[in-house]
Structure 1
Amino acid sequence: MAGVSSKSLAAALESLEPQLALATTALAQDLFGILELLDSNAGLRRALTDPTRAGADKAVLATKLVSGKVSATAQTVFLDLVDARWSSARDLGDALEVLAATSAIAVAEGQGGGPANLDKLEEELFGFIRVVESSHELQRAFDDAQATDAAKATLARQLAPGAGDVAALLIRQAVTAPRGLKPTALVQRFVELVAKRQQRWIAYVSVTRELTTEQLRRLQAGLNNLYGRELKINVTIDPTLVGGIKVVVGAEVVDATAATRVAELRRRLAV
């Protein structure tokens, strides 16, 4: 996904983020359900992404499609996507898939373990990939067009008996609705989304000189307070850095241009 679709997806993810702190797997299930409706009707996808069609008309169509079938949050997420611009009809479905998977991953993240839970989820997904890719028979079973979704879901669950609710949901989605991919390839995409989520827990810090133990302690405390969670800090030395410090957490960059936010960190690092 590139160009205008990439920008629309980025905006949708940003709008979704405030909803994720209290999200449950029900939101992901609702969004995957809407995706199933779109994937079953090419004409509907074209109608909802037609740039020549009035936004109000598309909103009415989208509302009729999901009203009373999904939660209010899922409906709002979907209507926002329909209101955005997409390079192709396929991109709308791809975006829904990313938002649904991200919602599920955020549930794992919020279950009391933060990055540890994400590590566990990643390993559960990798475990499924390893098992399937080690057996041509299993690969054929999941590729079998005659096999029912229920049968594939049951087999997947047997192959990952210890998987948590989120991993089970993502694996089930991959084997029942791979959307043109091998199921393991879609699970790998979900792994990549987990890795992206993990970046929210790592602070990449660049400073002009090596920090003392006390400065590192102060930096840790300042970043934890700034982001409201326990971050892992990765420090590199860059003597050419303007402003003395640069911090990257996920997609956010805090540098000398963000004077009000970086000033507190500078104060904490002061000897």
Structure 2
Amino acid sequence: MAGASSESLAAALADLETTLPTASLSLARELFGILAVLDGSAGLRRALTDPSREGAEKSALVHSLLDGKASGEAVEITAKLAASRWAGARDISDALETIASTVACAVAEQGAGTASGLSGLEKLQNDLFAFNNTVEGNHELQAALTEQQASPEARRTLALRLVPEASEEARLLIGQAVSAPRGAKPTALVEKFASLAAGRQKRWIADVAVARPLGEGQLKRLQDGLNTLYGRELKINTTVEPSLVGGLRVTVGDEVLDASTVTRLGDLRRQLAAQAR
């Protein structure tokens, strides 16, 4: 996906972030259901991606088709996609697949973790990888899960038997991959879903490069400042790079903070703490 489609997907994902903190797995299921409707109608996909049509007109078409048949949240997400610009008719379906799976990953992200200490996202990734490892080592399973004569539900049932301890989020994504692979190998689609989960996991990790090791107090101040900035508890991984200019570099997801940024952050945190006294 490139050009206008790539920009539209990026904008849709950014807009989605405001929904994700309270999203439920039922929203992901609904979006996958709408995806099936789009995949089942080439004419509808062309209508929703026709560059000669105004965005409002395409959005209205989505509402006319889906209002009352899906939640308002799912319909609105789809309507906003339709109002965007797409380079090809398939691209809107690909985008909806990415959005639906991102919602599932975000639901796992909200989880409280497991008894083994894994976060919800780590468990999701492990479950997806476990499925792929099982399937990729067994040619009979690969054939059964791609058998076109078998119904989508039969393939889904077989796939889920392979991961009885998987989370609900993993079961949804695995079931989607084998029942509606959309021209891809099911394991390739599961790998894509795992990559999305890994991308969200990185949002909770701060990779800190320092010119020399940080003391315990310095590390705590940095931890407090970053937690304040991002509004959540981050896991900090530190590495020492003696040649690092400025002495400090923090990477959280795709965002990079240099020493001056972190210093200003620390000053602001101390000012706020002083005002609160």
Same fold by TM-score greater than 0.5: yes
Letter of the 1:28 counterpart = A
Letter of the 1:57 counterpart = E
Structural mapping, 1:152-191, within 5 Å: 152-191=155-194
Distance 1:256-1:65 versus aligned 2 partners, 3 A rule: farther
1:156 and 1:201 map into 2 onto residues whose CA distance is 30
Structural mapping, 1:235-254, within 5 Å: 235-236=238-239, 237=241, 239=243, 241=245, 245-254=248-257
- List runs of 5+ in structure 1 lacking aligned partners: none
2:231 aligned partner: 228
CA contact (8 A) 1:156 1:172 kept: yes
1:13 aligned partner: 13
CA contact (8 A) 1:39 1:93 kept: yes
Letter of the 1:62 counterpart = V
- List runs of 5+ in structure 2 lacking aligned partners: 271-277
- In structure 2, the residue corresponding to 1:147 is in which secondary structure? coil
Q: How far does the alpha carbon of each residue in 1:177-199 deviate from its partner, in whole angstroms, 9 at most, with x for none?
A: 00001111100100100110111
1:82 aligned partner: 82
After TM superposition, give the deviation of residue 207 of structure 1 in Å.
4.2
CA contact (8 A) 2:55 2:84 kept: no
CA contact (8 A) 1:49 1:92 kept: yes
- In structure 1, the residue corresponding to 2:181 is in which secondary structure? coil
- In structure 2, the residue corresponding to 1:18 is in which secondary structure? coil
2:259 and 2:86 map into 1 onto residues whose CA distance is 35
CA contact (8 A) 2:210 2:244 kept: no
Q: TM-score, normalised by structure 1?
A: 0.91
CA contact (8 A) 2:31 2:96 kept: yes
CA contact (8 A) 1:218 1:268 kept: no
CA contact (8 A) 2:125 2:194 kept: yes
1:217 aligned partner: 220
1:130 aligned partner: 133
Tell me if 1:46 matches 2:41. Answer: no
Structural mapping, 1:58-69, within 5 Å: 58-69=58-69
Cα RMSD (Å): 2.1
1:113 and 1:76 map into 2 onto residues whose CA distance is 31
2:244 and 2:127 map into 1 onto residues whose CA distance is 42
Number of residue equivalences: 266
CA contact (8 A) 1:5 1:86 kept: yes
Moved segments of 4+, more than 4 Å:
266-269
Q: Percent identity, aligned pairs only?
A: 53
- In structure 1, the residue corresponding to 2:237 is in which secondary structure? strand
Distance 1:69-1:241 versus aligned 2 partners, 3 A rule: farther
Q: How far does the alpha carbon of each residue in 1:82-139 deviate from its partner, in whole angstroms, 9 at most, with x for none?
A: 1111111111111101110010111111011397111111111111111111111111
2:275 aligned partner: none
1:107 aligned partner: 107
Which 10-residue stretch deviates more, 230-239 or 148-157?
230-239
1:118 aligned partner: 121
Letter of the 1:241 counterpart = V
2:69 and 2:258 map into 1 onto residues whose CA distance is 45
Counterpart pick for 1:197 among 175, 197, 200: 200
